[in-house]
A and B are shown apart, each in its own frame.
Chain A
Amino acid sequence: MSAAAIAEPMLPRPFRVVASRRETGDTVTLELVPLAGSVPDFAPDQFKPGQFNMVYAFGVGEVPVSLSGDPADGGRMVHTVRAVGAVSRAIAAAAPGSVLGVRGPFGSAWPMAEAEGRDLLLVAGGLGLAPLRPAIRQALARGERFGRIAILYGSRGPAEILYREELAAWGQRPGATVALTLDHADAAWEGHVGVVPDLIPGVSFDPRNSVAMLCGPEVMLRFTARALLGAGVPAERIYVSMERNMKCAVGLCGHCQFGGDFICRDGAVLRYDRVAARLAVREV
Chain B
Amino acid sequence: METLEHLLLEHPFLAGLDAALGRPLAGCARNLRFAAGEFLFREGEPADEFYLIREGRVVLELHVPARSPLVIAAIGDGDIVGLSWLAPPHRWAFDARATAETRAFGLGAGCVRERCEENHHLGYEMMKRILPVTVRRMQAARQQLLDVYGQHPA
Task: Give chain A's interface residues, CB within 8 Å of chain B.
Answer: 26, 82, 84-85, 125-127, 154-156, 160, 181-195, 198, 202, 216-217, 219-220, 223, 245
- CB pair B143–A245 under 8 Å, yes or no, is no
| A contact residues around B154 at 8 Å (CB) | 85, 245
B44 at interface by CB-CB < 8 Å: no
> Measured between C-beta atoms, what is the minimum distance from B10 to chain A in Å?
18
* Closest 6 pairs between A and B when the two form their complex, measured CB to CB: A126-B149, A186-B68, A217-B148, A156-B149, A185-B71, A193-B74
- CB pair B149–A186 under 8 Å, yes or no, is no
- CB pair A160–B149 under 8 Å, yes or no, is yes
- CB pair A186–B143 under 8 Å, yes or no, is no
Task: Give the B interface residue count (CB, 8 A).
Answer: 29
- CB pair A193–B68 under 8 Å, yes or no, is no
- In the complex formed, the residue of A with least CB distance to B59 is A193
| A contact residues around B70 at 8 Å (CB) | 184-186
> Measured between C-beta atoms, what is the minimum distance from B141 to chain A in Å?
9
- CB pair A187–B143 under 8 Å, yes or no, is no
Of the candidates B68, B99, B144, B151, the one whose C-beta lies within 8 Å of that of A26 is: B151
B93 at interface by CB-CB < 8 Å: no
Residues of B76-130 whose CB lies within 8 A of A:
76, 97, 99-100
> Measured between C-beta atoms, what is the minimum distance from A231 to chain B in Å?
14
- In the complex formed, the residue of A with least CB distance to B71 is A185
B150 at interface by CB-CB < 8 Å: yes
Residue among B100, B144, B146 having the largest count of chain A Cβ atoms under 10 Å: B144
Of the candidates B57, B59, B61, B150, the one whose C-beta lies within 8 Å of that of A156 is: B150
| A contact residues around B143 at 8 Å (CB) | 195, 219-220, 223
- In the complex formed, the residue of A with least CB distance to B68 is A186
B147 at interface by CB-CB < 8 Å: yes
- CB pair A219–B61 under 8 Å, yes or no, is no
- CB pair A194–B144 under 8 Å, yes or no, is yes
- CB pair A186–B69 under 8 Å, yes or no, is yes
- In the complex formed, the residue of A with least CB distance to B140 is A195
| B contact residues around A126 at 8 Å (CB) | 148-149
> Measured between C-beta atoms, what is the minimum distance from B138 to chain A in Å?
12
**Bound-state Cα–Cα, A119 to B74, Å:** 26
| B contact residues around A185 at 8 Å (CB) | 70-71
Known: A184-B144, A187-B61. A193 touches B72 (CB 8 A): yes
B65 at interface by CB-CB < 8 Å: no
B32 at interface by CB-CB < 8 Å: no
- In the complex formed, the residue of A with least CB distance to B99 is A190
**Bound-state Cα–Cα, A186 to B68, Å:** 6
